[in-house]
Amino acid sequence: QVQLVESGGGLVQTGGSLRLSCTASAPITGSYAVGWFRQAPGKEHEFVAALRRPNGATYYGDSVKGRFAVSRDNAKNAVYLQMNSLKPEDTAVYYCARLVNPISSTIRDSHRYDSWGQGTQVTVSS
């Protein structure tokens, strides 16, 4: 079972940027997606973004579209989430997870994902 580890969270002011990393313990092969989700206190997991392999398609939640971008570095077994123009409502614990054999209708469903990381806290101050 591949393990995922997130890093890069922290405290940033409104309008600032952060880049989160999701590093896998081994290369992930075949058809899969790496998704980013976030969870604020008392709320459900919210879909943020996903990158699908092997076709490279990207998906974004409506609240982050145009501000966040997901990318990958195969040599480092890593997927990144670049977050720009951060807002206080982006404050949450951010998780990455793997989805095997994704289809478009399952990309945004957190229950379809396995191999979740431990999460990294992002706090945006106003």
84: number of Cβ within 10 Å: 14
Secondary structure letter of residue 4 according to DSSP: E
CA triple 108-114-118, angle to 5 deg: 100
- Whether the ω angle into residue 54 lies within 30 degrees of 0, i.e. cis, is yes
pLDDT band at 13; cut points 50, 70, 90: very high
Would you state the pLDDT for residue 100? 94
pLDDT digits (tens, 9 = 90+) for 14-71: 999 999 999 999 888 889 999 999 999 999 999 999 999 999 999 999 999 999 999 9
pLDDT recorded at residue 61: 98
3-class secondary structure, 94: strand
pLDDT at 29: 87
- Mean pLDDT over 76-105 rounds to 96
Mean pLDDT of 109-123: 96
pLDDT of residue 108 exceeding 90: yes
